[in-house]
A and B are shown apart, each in its own frame.
Chain A
Amino acid sequence: MDNLKSQEDLSVIRNLMEQSTKFMSLSGLSGVFIGIYALIGSATALWYINSDSFLTTYFEKGLTPIYITFGCIAFGVLSLSLITAFMLSKRKAKKLQVGFWNKSAKLMIYNLAIPLITGGLFSGLLIYHNAEIFIPPVTLIFYGLALIQASQVTVKEIKFLGLLEILTGLIAFIKLEYDIYFWAFGFGILHILYGIIIYYKYDRKA
């Protein structure tokens, strides 16, 4: 039993413990795609607000059709993001030769779900109380909390991304008139940057 072997043994132990409990199939590329969807989504929303038809619709039919349009944009971005994340993670899991739907994946979803669903319901309540203006900062903050929670079961870099999302959300709360821009920064730019970092750090080796 020499020292080199003990050292190697310890690193084998550490790696296997991490691999068997952490969700390592998170794909950096999906971060980049999600960021692009978010940028397209917010650009569409901004374009809609500044378009002529926005005011005509508002004066003729009130707020309901406007909510429906924003709801559709948000739903489109969210579903595209989820589908992309799911497919790319599945592909990476296959590359890493680990099962996709394993305990760590379930743990990851469980960790993300509680803060995200709370944030979603909270946003719904903001609409109910006619306080839609707070939705961008609130979604940023809840998403940041979800990432910090999930960072315990996946790549640790996610934690710092979570902190940045919360910070962006809080600043957006101060500067409410620019909150769509902060939202685009948090969900768009930050995702793309982090996606690239994770891609270079984890994906290329796989």
Chain B
Amino acid sequence: MKSKIENINKAFENRVRLGIMSILVVNEWVDYKQLKKLLDVTDGNLASHIAALEKKEYIEIRKSFIGKKPNTSYRVSQTGKKAFGEHINALENLLKGL
């Protein structure tokens, strides 16, 4: 059984992180406001999970301005895409294993 859960990625065990990755893998750049709306979480919560994913280099960050307002967008990195794919496969295998 151990081999099956080997690929379960600890970084994605949290729902918010899982959610961020799910959104980013099927979109290009997504801005902070959209992420917050889709995930329905507080600023502090979202910011800390984004920081964790950024630290692992799973996501890339782009800061720009829309008019005078700062706007931060995120996209998944190659590493992140690969890690997320492996995580989903692991989840599926785990379910198939039953």
Contacts and interface: CB of A to CB of B under 8 A. Distances in A.
B5 A98 contact: no
Nearest to A98: B37
A17 B25 contact: yes
Interface in A128-170: none
Interface string B40-73: 1000000000000000000000000000000000
A3 B98 contact: yes
B33 A12 contact: no
B37 A97 contact: yes
A168 to B, nearest CB: 34
Interface of A: 1, 3, 6-7, 9-10, 12-13, 16-17, 19-21, 97-99, 102-103
B95 A7 contact: yes
Contact of B92 (A1, A10, A17, A97): A10
A63 to B, nearest CB: 51
Interface residues of B, number: 24
B91 interface: yes
Given A12-B19, A13-B22, A99 B88 contact: no
For the residues of B in contact with A, the DSSP-based class is helix
Contact of B95 (A3, A13, A19, A98): A3
B61 to A, nearest CB: 18
Given A1-B5, A6-B95, A10-B95, A16 B22 contact: yes
B94 interface: yes
A143 B40 CA distance: 36
Contacts of B25: 17
B30 A20 contact: yes
A56 to B, nearest CB: 59
Given A12-B19, A97-B37, A21 B91 contact: no
A17 B23 contact: yes
A16 B19 contact: yes
